[in-house]
Amino acid sequence: MSKSTKQIPRLRLWPYQKNVLFPHDGQFSQAEDLQIIYSGHSFKNILLKIIDNAKEQLHVHTYILAEDDSAREILGHILQAAKRGVEVFIMTDAVGSPWPDPDWSNFFKQEGIHFKSFNSSLETHFFDFSRRAHHKVVCADNQVALVGGLNIAREYIEEETNPPNIRPSLPWLDLAIYIKGPSTFHIQSILLEIYKHDEIHRDWEQMHLPGVFTCDCKKPYRFLLHDGLKGNFTIRERYLTALYQAQSEIILMSGYFVPENLIVRLLIRAKKNGVRVRIFLTHHSDVRSVHLAQTYLYRRLIKHGIEILEWRDSILHAKALFVDGTWLTIGSYNLHYTSTWGNIEANVETTIPQVCQEFSHYIGDYIMPRCSTITHESLGHYGTDFFLGLVSYHLYKSIQFFQVLIVAFFKVSWPKEKN
């Protein structure tokens, strides 16, 4: 065993080391159609198509429902769906979308729309307040689903000029997965359970789900729901497994990149084992402290030969992991303590060759030419930001430590050990 492997705590990795069949393990659902959706008008068009074609039931879960023209246009289509007799459920997060005041709630109610603001400070226990509904999922009629990292806001659709120090740019770079087929009924049932009860049964993946098949289906996908504060670490487990099992290539995209140390060590281990590791991050961030913290990590990662590439044409908000050209996951999960330990997150993973090939071309043909590679020389331009990054990084790590304590001692809901 190599020295780098010995450095990884075995007790924390035992569920993943045994998973020798990755990525073809567990159950996969069969999609009739599955596509990658990109921010901009591609996202807007598919979202409006889902809303306009809904006939019986529509679920819209989003972290941010903005108060801008783009969001209001989409809301107009949702209102039209309600007037057609579609049962509409909208859930936003009380922190991400604080603007729907009582007047809006009453308006939704008058229009026959079920509306919920998740986990507001007036309704929740102190230790639950850090649990946010960060997932972005839209479902309709048990037939279609859209799962990704895109909020319903102008910056994900139109050219964006904010923050003010950035020139007019492309929409924020983000991704989603569009799924068509009756197997999406289990995604819709999960959204309904979250809406009604704020959580789901922890063993939902083991429930009897008609239409769920093994990995031999032609268009396989798996819907992943993560709820760290309730002890459900499904997406984290898949990330750890993928990084540990990688053989040739890792492509990672994260809008907010302050990963736990185990993730960093697995990335370094993969590089030492001959895997090409590329991490795509944002140069312009809407949360400066997170950007400072991630730049503090650059030196450690570059030292071990990991490629860091910064997207400069807008803000990179995408969350994706692509391993060995054969396994892809896209969703709302950031490599950040809030996603791991606090938020409800949703991802989709797939091994469909055509989809994986499309993503590979997207990275090579569109993303790479528009990114700048971070080197030891370019790090010198950050100047005093190194000290601020040091402070920000350790501040986030301290917050993460207390978040873990909350999960461990106040919820006491860690997954049971596997045989």
Dump pLDDT digits (tens) for 156-202. 998 655 454 544 468 999 999 999 999 999 999 999 999 988 766 54
* pLDDT band at residue 121 using 50, 70 and 90 as cut-offs: low
Under 8 Å between Cβ of 191 and 362: no
What does DSSP say about strands 276-282 and 249-253: parallel, antiparallel, or unpaired?
A: parallel
Q: Mark whether 145 and 236 lie in a shared domain.
A: no
Q: Mark whether 191 and 244 lie in a shared domain.
A: no
pLDDT exceeds cutoff 50 at 33: yes
pLDDT exceeds cutoff 70 at 210: no
Q: What three-state secondary structure class fits 92?
A: strand
Which two structure tokens, joined as six digits, stand for 81?
A: 């769906």
Full residue range of the structural domain in which residue 247 is found: 226-419
pLDDT exceeds cutoff 70 at 116: yes
What is the CATH number for 287? 3.30.870.10
Task: Confirm whether 294 is domain-assigned.
Answer: yes
Structural domain count of the chain: 2
Task: Confirm whether 244 is domain-assigned.
Answer: yes
Q: Mark whether 45 and 192 lie in a shared domain.
A: yes
Dump pLDDT digits (tens) for 368-386. 999 999 988 877 665 557 6
Amino acid residing at 296 = Y
User: Could you tell me the sign of the dihedral formed by the alpha carbons of 169, 177, 285, 240, in that order?
Assistant: negative
pLDDT at residue 337, rounded to an integer: 83
Q: Mark whether 235 and 374 lie in a shared domain.
A: yes
Which 8-state DSSP code applies to residue 183? G
Angle at 168 between CA 165 and CA 170, to 5 degrees: 120
362 C-beta neighbours (distance < 10 Å), count = 16
pLDDT exceeds cutoff 90 at 96: no
Q: Mark whether 175 and 127 lie in a shared domain.
A: yes
pLDDT at residue 103, rounded to an integer: 65
d(CA 171, CA 163): 12
Tally the residues of the chain: 419
* pLDDT band at residue 208 using 50, 70 and 90 as cut-offs: very low
* pLDDT band at residue 407 using 50, 70 and 90 as cut-offs: low
Residue 227 CB partners (closer than 8 Å, separation 6+): 131, 199, 200, 343, 344, 345
Task: Confirm whether 8 is domain-assigned.
Answer: no
Which two structure tokens, joined as six digits, stand for 50?
A: 């889902």
pLDDT exceeds cutoff 80 at 23: no
**What is the mean predicted confidence (pLDDT) over 306-323?**
95
Q: Mark whether 235 and 162 lie in a shared domain.
A: no
pLDDT exceeds cutoff 80 at 226: yes
**What is the mean predicted confidence (pLDDT) over 244-263?**
93
Task: Confirm whether 144 is domain-assigned.
Answer: yes
Task: Confirm whether 308 is domain-assigned.
Answer: yes
Q: Mark whether 189 and 296 lie in a shared domain.
A: no
Task: Confirm whether 210 is domain-assigned.
Answer: no
Q: What three-state secondary structure class fits 179?
A: strand
Answer with the one of 180, 198, 216 that is the final residue of a domain. 198
Q: Mark whether 235 and 91 lie in a shared domain.
A: no
Task: Confirm whether 19 is domain-assigned.
Answer: no
Q: Mark whether 279 and 143 lie in a shared domain.
A: no
Answer with the one of 182, 198, 214 that is the final residue of a domain. 198
Q: Mark whether 313 and 417 lie in a shared domain.
A: yes
Partner residues linked to 4 by β-bridges = none
Which range among 65-79, 112-126, 224-238, 349-363 shows the weakest confidence by mean pLDDT? 112-126
Q: Give the residue from 351, 280, 290 showing the smallest Cα distance to 319.
A: 280
Dump pLDDT digits (tens) for 56-71. 999 999 999 988 899 9
Partner residues linked to 249 by β-bridges = 276
Q: Could you list the beta-strand ranges (E) of 211-300.
A: 212-213, 220-227, 249-253, 276-282
Partner residues linked to 116 by β-bridges = 91
pLDDT at residue 413, rounded to an integer: 43
Q: Give the residue from 148, 120, 116, 102 showing the smallest Cα distance to 348.
A: 148
pLDDT exceeds cutoff 60 at 6: no
- Please give the full DSSP string across 7-53, using - where no structure is assigned: TS-HHHHHHHHT-TTTTS-S-EEEPSEEEEEETTHHHHHHHHHHHHH
* pLDDT band at residue 10 using 50, 70 and 90 as cut-offs: very low
Task: Confirm whether 25 is domain-assigned.
Answer: no
- Of the chain, the percentage scoring pLDDT greater than 90 comes to 54
Q: What is the mean pLDDT of the chain?
A: 82
Which range among 94-103, 266-275, 317-326, 354-363 shows the weakest confidence by mean pLDDT? 94-103
Answer with the one of 198, 213, 238 that is the final residue of a domain. 198
Backbone angles phi, psi at 281, to 5 degrees: -130, 175
Q: Mark whether 191 and 234 lie in a shared domain.
A: no
Q: Mark whether 255 and 182 lie in a shared domain.
A: no
pLDDT exceeds cutoff 80 at 219: yes
- Please give the full DSSP string across 343-404, using - where no structure is assigned: -EEEEEEE--HHHHHHHHHIIIIIIGGGEEE--HHHHGGGTTHHHHHHHHHHHHHHHHHHHH
Q: How many CA atoms lie within 13 A of 87 on its CB side?
A: 6
d(CA 67, CA 74): 11
pLDDT exceeds cutoff 80 at 358: yes
